[in-house]
Amino acid sequence: MIKSADKIRQELRDKQHRIWIKFSWKLLAENFKDRKEFNEFVASLNPDNKNKFIWLSAFWYIMGNKPKMAYKQTQKIIVSFSVIESLYEEDEYQDFFTWLNTKRLKEKTKEFNGDSEKILKELQTEWKNKYGSSEKMRIFLRENLSERQRQTLFNHFKIKKSGDEKFREIKNVDEFSECLIIIRNSFIHKAKVIDVFLDSKSIASSMLSRISKNYIFNSPINFEFIESIFKSGFVNYFKTHK
C-alpha cells in the first residue's frame, strides 16, 4: 500500500521530534518536576505548537549551549533573541517598504488629513508592532514573565544615560529591552561585539560596559541567570498557546 504524502510527512516529523526532544529536555529540565511531566506537557500541545516548541528549544540548546566563539555571552543573547522573535513570527517577515502598500498609505492619508509627519509615525509604529524585534521582546517579557521575575531582572542591573549624574536601577520592561536590543543590533547591523555580562566562571563582581555613545550598563551577574528566566518565560508562552 502506497503511503500518502501527509502520512510520509507525519512520519518524518515524528522521527525528527524523537531526535530533537532530547535537546529540548536538556534545555528546559529545570522547569519541570521530571521527564514524565515534560513529556505530558509536550503531548498536550497542538501539532503546530508542539513542532514549534521542540524545534525552537532544540535550536536554543544546540546554538546557545557552551558556544565556542570568543564572545560567548553575545552569542547567547543573539540566540535567545532569535528564539523569542520566532515565537511571534506568524507571518513572513517584510521590510518596511515592502509592507507599505498603496492601500495602506491611502488609508492613513485619509485618516490624518494628509499630515505627512503623523502618517509616517503611525505607519512606522504599525510596522514595528508587527515585525520589530524590540516589540517582540517587550511582549515576551510582559506576557510570559511574572512580576517577580521582571523585578528580579530590573534589580540586578544599573544604567547611566547621558545626563544622569549616577547609576540607577532599571525601571521597566522598556529600559531592560532597550539594553538588550542595543547589544543585539550592534552585532547584527554594525558587526560590533559588546560583551556586557560576566562569564559564568568569572571571579569579577560586576561588568561595566558602554553599550552606546550615551549609555553605560553595569551588570553584576552572568547571562545564564537571565537565560534561566527567559527559559521559564518560553515554557509559560506555550502554557497559554496550547
Digit-coded pLDDT (tens) for 132-172: 666 788 889 999 999 999 998 888 777 777 777 787 888 88
Confirm whether 15 is domain-assigned. Answer: yes
Confirm whether 92 is domain-assigned. Answer: no
Confirm whether 133 is domain-assigned. Answer: no
Structural domain range at position 4: 1-65
Whether the pLDDT of residue 216 is over 80: the answer is no
Whole-angstrom distance, CA of residue 23 vs CA of residue 44: 19
Furthest-apart CA pair in the chain: how many Å?
77
Confirm whether 28 is domain-assigned. Answer: yes
- pLDDT band of residue 41 (cuts 50, 70, 90) is very high
pLDDT digits (tens, 9 = 90+) for 105-116: 677 677 767 767
Give burial (CB, 10 Å; 0-12/13-18/19+) of 152.
middle
Whole-angstrom distance, CA of residue 77 vs CA of residue 180: 8
- pLDDT band of residue 15 (cuts 50, 70, 90) is confident
> Which whole number is the average pLDDT over 201-220?
54
Whole-angstrom distance, CA of residue 181 vs CA of residue 190: 13
Whole-angstrom distance, CA of residue 23 vs CA of residue 18: 10
- pLDDT band of residue 187 (cuts 50, 70, 90) is confident
The pLDDT, as a whole number, for residue 17 is 85
pTM: 0.76
pLDDT digits (tens, 9 = 90+) for 226-239: 899 999 999 999 99
Whole-angstrom distance, CA of residue 83 vs CA of residue 111: 36
pLDDT digits (tens, 9 = 90+) for 21-35: 999 999 999 999 999
Confirm whether 156 is domain-assigned. Answer: no
Tally of domains within the chain: 1
The pLDDT, as a whole number, for residue 83 is 94
Please state, as a whole number, how many other Cβ atoms lie within 10 Å of the Cβ of residue 103. Answer: 7
DSSP code, position 51:
H
- pLDDT > 70 fraction of the chain, expressed in percent and rounded: 69
3-state secondary structure of 204: coil
